[in-house]
Structure 1
Amino acid sequence: MSPEGKKLLNIVVLGFGFMFMFTAFQTCGNIEQTVIKSFNSTEFHGSGYTSMAIIYGVFSASNLLAPSVVTVIGPQLSMFFSGLIYSGYIAMFIYPYTWSFYTASVLVGIAAAVLWTAQGNVLAINSTDSTIGRNSGIFWSLLQFSLFFGNLYIYCAWHGHVHITDKDRQTVFISLTVISLAGCFLFFLIRKPDAEVSPRPDGTEPLLQTESMDGSTASSPGSGLCSQALDAFVKACKMFVTKEMLLLSISIGYTGLELTFYSGVYGTCIGAMTRFGTDAKSLIGISGIFIGIGEILGGGVFGMLNKSSRFGRNPVVLLGLITHYVAFFLIFLNIASDAPLAPEAGTDLEAFITPSVGVAMLCSFLLGLGDSCFNTQLLSIIGFMFHDNSAPAFAIFKFIQSIMAAIAFFYSNYLLLHWQLLILVVMGFLGSISFFVTEWLAESSRRDSDYDSI
């Protein structure tokens, strides 16, 4: 197999591993607040929103140290051990206790930082400037198949169930745990890409270059694991205050807010709408499927367009903003304002139109499509601009995204739906503007580089 073919295979294996893991974890996040409301135990006092706030809060705090972990043990083992912790969090729901629920939330936050930093590292070292857009799209599409399969299972398992029994819960979470573990072991199929050979400046003998764990190239080994770990941490701190990363931080922050909305809040809102009938709980699964279809379509189409587009990344991000604005407006009209905070029995209130399942599912699709627009282009531009220091760059990406997600999960415990939508509208606009400016800077840098090489 050619070196390029081996790199592409690594990306596909990476995507399938994450697809299995997040079939379990994203499904878990989508249903856990509904499951907790139905859990009949006076000893359990957990909140799904609070758990996710803890996960993303710890996630954000751990991201600046994650490159050091990836540097020391390598991206493959980093993803495997992180995946085991994800599986433990899911398994906890089989017999949940308040202490184990929140302890597992802290551990998953740490694991998530390591997992996504390692993922960004693998993506970058298996890509070039010409393939980073394609590979980002392939990975994103495979990852988002997780929304389709997991939520289809939830729909079939809970169809017609008004109340989620202990047996329903245990059956679902045992299955999800097994699926998550399968994804962990797939990471061992990823192979180190072949070293690249480049000519010496004087044109005499070739110089063998190897890619280090942070995505940089070096002709000699490092000076010890501790110094490598410290170097990775220093790089992450320095990169965080660069002009490009500060601009991108607003756009990345928006993806954290809307991640919270589509992965936790919106499904809960649909399940709380008694006007949707006895199938309201199972519609959470259908909503997740439509989100997944939007994500898969966007990841495939926009990943391929990014490979050959003459117009850059800005049109895709603009399409994502428009798509999200349409979704937010329709949700505002269709879903009762108290739905995020409704009790287990749900809400009888209406918004501005008669609640429509079709409109709700259309909004799910639009949320997924818009999310893929933002995320594929962010993965692409970060992989392009920070290719030589990919692990710290992707760690900062997840640091910003996760801290904003934690904030959003926290305020989701208290804010009515229309206030949450207003926050998303404002941040979406600001995030898009910041991305446009960063893309123009990237294109200017590329043109200058091309001019200097003539």
Structure 2
Amino acid sequence: MADFRTFNVVVLGLGFLFIFTAFTTTGNIEQTVLKNLENNTFIGSGYHSLGIIYGVFSVSNLLAPTVVAVIGPRCTMFLSGILYSGYISVFVIPSTWSLYFTSVLIGVGAAMLWTAQGHFLVENSEASTINRNTGLFWALLQCSMLFGNLYIYFSWNGRTEISDSSRRNIFLSLLVASVVGTLSFLVLRKIHREEELLSEDEGQPLLSTPMMYKHRANTAIQDAKTEFKTILQLVKAKTILLLSPCMAYSGLELSFYSGVYGTCIGATAHFGEAAKGLVGISGIMVGVGEIVGGGLFGLVCKNNRFRRTSVVFLGMVVHFVAFYLIFLNIPSDAPIVFDTSTQRSPYLTPSISIALLCSFLLGLGDSCFNTQLYSILGRVYAEQSAPAFAIFKFIQSVFAAVAFFYSGYLLLMWQLLMMVILGFAGTLCFFVVERMQNFSGEQLED
């Protein structure tokens, strides 16, 4: 049994590695690709597509637990993987309607996939192995930011335009990766548990298999209703209200590092023929920052040498340094140009090393905020963790969606200013919650 569980966790991590190698790479390059389409009839926007994905994802989180309970985590992840593959395939032969239609589908699929992943990981773990299994899964997942973007660098390096043939080859390769990850979910082994429904009167098995599924569905619906009521209660809690600015900021900076900044680098005319290849290297550096931050703060928290406030403050400083350097180094019209390159000149002569340093800092700072938000929510709402994390994901996804929609219209300086203001407010509010925790010594509830 233990061997099967370890096998399942490894296969689960590899499946997500392949799927998110495809999806993360797509999110990083899609606006650049769509701006270079040799097709005058296509009017879609990569920013709008990502905004739809995160908007639908935020709402679908409310329904995902019921679906997973009814059809099971393995089947849910397989079906979700098909939706991810469908989204990747759109870029092989792009059309506006299919881009936005699959954006809605993948938003639903993402909610189902991540809910099923959490359920399956817990199902294959025990108290003594949950930390190891979680670490193993996230280590494999974070590697997804490296391989696809490295392929983009070698494919695009030296190119000033992305031809149709180059685009097709790239997305066919990413589609293959996504399909491989989806098929790997079929290899997952089922963990058998003795869960028979017994008659209260006779003490014998009462329900056939179809009736078992019906009973499970009814139970899941009741659980979903209960969880939804808990969510409504927690939304009004003082702790959640105070943490909301920090959650919202995590959504803004998520959209910036995952889709906007790579596009800005690819559109910077001063980088010349290296610009398109740097989109891939930028994604790799973000991934390295995430991996370094996750490992570093895991050791920090384990040894209790720093409090959560110290890590969050570090994240704020790291991000603000990155934002200032980006403001100086990248042209202000980089997010909004609709041809192939920027027209404005930045304050400094654009430097590739500074641009890539900022990518690393964006990933490092993101790991600061997210690890500590998970930490404080897990401590304050230990008995209500699922609803609390659902609220976190909802707020984060809504603001990520909003940010993707305005990213194609606002100059870079205004986008950076919005993140600075919300990041500073979110950090202060996080400090208040941590101070309340230190004084109360117990769960904070309204």
TM-score range, shorter chain: 0.7 to 0.9
Q: In 1, distance between residues paired with 2:439 and 2:70? A: 36
Summarize the alignment of residues 190-209 of structure 1 with structure 2, pairs less than 5 Å apart: none
Q: 1:72 and 1:238, CA in 2 relative to 1: closer, same or farther beyond 3 A? A: farther
Equivalent position of 2:26 in the other structure: 28
Of 264-273 and 137-146, deviating more is 137-146
> Which residue of 2 is the match for residue 107 of structure 1?
105
Q: Could you tell me whether the CA contact under 8 Å between 2:47 and 2:405 is conserved in 1?
A: yes
2:221 paired residue number: 226
1:162-173 pair list within 5 angstroms: 162-173=160-171
Counterpart Cα distance in 2 of 1:82 and 1:394: 21
Residue 414 (structure 1) aligned with residue 409 (structure 2): yes
What is aligned with 1:430? 425
Q: 1:251 to 1:79 in 2, by over 3 A?
A: farther
Q: Which amino acid aligns with 1:428?
A: G
Percent identity over the alignment is 56
State the shift of 1:347 in Å.
Answer: 1.4
**Residues 1:257 and 2:255 are matched in the alignment:** no
Aligned AA (2:42): F
Asked if 1:83 corresponds to 2:78, the answer is: no
8 Å contact from structure 1 (residues 134, 304) kept in 2 = no
Return the letter of the residue paired with 2:162.
I
From 292, 296, 305, give the equivalent of 1:297.
292
The 5 A counterparts of 1:51-450 are 51-122=49-120, 138-187=136-185, 224-442=219-437, 447-448=441-442
Partners of 1:141 and 1:295 within 8 A in 2: no
Cα displacement (A) at 1:433? 2.3
For residues 11-30 of structure 1, the C-alpha deviation after alignment (integer angstroms, 9 at most, x for no partner) is 55544332221111010011
CA contact (8 A) 1:132 1:380 kept: no
| C-alpha distance after superposition, 1:21-44 (max 9, x if no partner) | 111101001111111111111332
Specify the SS of the correspondent of 1:114. helix
Q: Which runs of 5+ in 1 are unaligned?
A: 196-220, 450-454
Distance 2:217 2:44 in 1: 46
The answer to whether the 8 Å contact 2:70/2:217 transfers is no
Cα distance, 1:222–1:379 mapped onto 2, change above 3 Å: same
Q: CA RMSD in A?
A: 3.0
Offset of residue 377 of structure 1: 2.2
Q: Which one-letter code corresponds to 1:181 in the other structure? A: V
Confirm or deny: 8 A CA contact 2:35 2:339 kept in the other structure. Answer: yes
Counterpart of 1:341 in 2: which secondary structure? Answer: coil
8 Å CA contact 2:56–2:107 kept in 1: the answer is: yes
Conserved in 1, the CA contact under 8 Å of 2:36 and 2:340? no
**For 1:386 and 1:80, how far apart are their aligned partners in 2?**
31
| C-alpha spacing 1:340/1:228, structure 2 compared with 1 (3 Å) | same
Deviation at 1:184, TM superposition (A): 2.6
Higher alpha-carbon deviation: 277-286 or 391-400? 391-400
Shift of 1:418: 0.4
Separation (CA, whole Å) in 2 of partners of 1:331 and 1:106: 32
The number of residues matched between the two structures is 423
Give me the whole-angstrom Cα distance separating, in 2, the residues matched to 1:234 and 1:352: 52
For the residue of structure 2 that corresponds to 1:228, the secondary structure is helix
TM-fit CA distance, 1:265: 0.8
Query: How has the CA–CA distance of structure 1 residues 441 and 281 changed in structure 2, closer, same or farther, with 3 Å as cutoff?
Result: same
Contact 1:334 1:352 in 2 (8 A): yes
